[in-house]
Amino acid sequence: MKAALLAPLFLSLAGCARHEALPVYGRVPAFVLTSQTGATFDSKTLEGKIWVADFFFTTCMGPCPRMSAEMHSVQKRIADLSDVRLVSFSVDPQHDTPTVLAAYAQRFRADPSRWYMLTGSPATLNTLDRDAFKMGNVDGTFTHSTLFALVDRSGLIRGYFHTEEGATLDPLIAAIHGLEVGQVSTPAAGLQTRSSLPLVNAILNGTAAVLLVWGYTLIRRGRKRTHRNVMLAAFTVSTIFLICYLIYHAQAGVVRFAGTGPIRTLYFAILITHTLLAAAVPPLAIVTLSRGLRSRFDRHRAIARWTLPIWLYVSVTGVVVYWMLYRM
């Protein structure tokens, strides 16, 4: 992801536009559970809807009643928004049967047509809680996050919002309104373009890496003219990548790594070295190419010894970062 080439500038530009673009934390997979009415609940019900999710259990003596009261407050504040839904997932599916959930829903005056309290397969709930929302495990310990998660019409998780004592729901309500009226960039028509651009960017990085290795092989064989053309192609590919990168992040905002544990440490180790070295690539590449094109070959070789490994590392790790961020 050589756009980190000019990372400080890009981040400042992204910051200027962030009021128009919520981050993307991941996508909610399809699921089938059971609602408080006893009816089968298919996630297709939520397609094209904006929804707020939380995880709770009915026998909780801690934060769950407060969270449910806050969710009721959200229900009241979005009453005029017909495309907004609320979804509460139980982390105690063995106890929280539809009958139990129905009584709990009545206690918090949940509108069953808008606020779904769901139970069902522990495996499905665990996949949602742990893997999709990254908010805990359905493993019998009843530990769960007290955050509310906001999901857009395309099933993308766009934000997490605090519910603890003293926290305000205003940021959540503002984000819901932003998605509802289209002020936050998640138009369905543009989703495919945005979601395909990271792959395009990875392909461009991979292509640049191949061209760099090829160019090195050519110069070792004394094929100067072909070497020059291949290196110019590598520079062009990297420039196209930069344009695609800026387009993607102008639309999608910040995409955060959701992994935990050692893999998270590895990701940031790669990302940090990638970013720091990427900042050096533009001046190094421009000077190296300039000296070569002007036939200043001694000075060209001197700087190329630094430019090639740095540029190659940035190109290869760009593909690695893409794979870890979007495919793991």
C-alpha torsion angle, residues 181, 26, 207, 276 (rounded to 10) = 100
- Per-residue pLDDT of 19-36, as tens digits, reads 346 788 889 999 999 999
How far, in Å, CA of 19 to CA of 290, rounded? 40
**Domains along the chain with CATH numbers:** 22-181 (3.40.30.10), 188-327 (1.20.120.80)
How far, in Å, CA of 57 to CA of 46, rounded? 22
Q: How does 270-281 read in b/e, with b if 16+ C-beta sit within 10 Å?
A: ebeebbebbbeb
What pLDDT is recorded for position 324? 87
What pLDDT is recorded for position 283? 93
What pLDDT is recorded for position 220? 94
Question: Is the pLDDT reported for residue 287 higher than 70?
Answer: yes
- Per-residue pLDDT of 217-258, as tens digits, reads 999 999 999 999 999 999 999 999 888 878 776 665 556 676
What pLDDT is recorded for position 198? 81
How far, in Å, CA of 4 to CA of 10, rounded? 8
Question: Is the pLDDT reported for residue 119 higher than 80?
Answer: yes
What pLDDT is recorded for position 186? 41
What pLDDT is recorded for position 254? 59
What pLDDT is recorded for position 88? 97
- Per-residue pLDDT of 170-181, as tens digits, reads 889 989 988 886
Question: Is the pLDDT reported for residue 192 higher than 50?
Answer: no
Helix ranges restricted to H, 41-119: 64-77, 98-107
Question: Is the pLDDT reported for residue 261 higher than 50?
Answer: yes
What pLDDT is recorded for position 196? 67
Sign of the C-alpha dihedral computed for residues 27, 29, 32 and 34 taken in this order: negative
Question: Is the pLDDT reported for residue 270 higher than 90?
Answer: yes
What pLDDT is recorded for position 264? 85
Q: What is the DSSP string of 144-162?
A: B---EEEE-TTSEEEEEE-
Cα separation values, 84 from 116, 164, 183, Å? 12, 23, 16
pTM to 2 decimal places: 0.53
- Please state, rounded to an integer, the average pLDDT across all residues of the chain: 85
Question: Is the pLDDT reported for residue 309 higher than 90?
Answer: yes
What pLDDT is recorded for position 140? 67
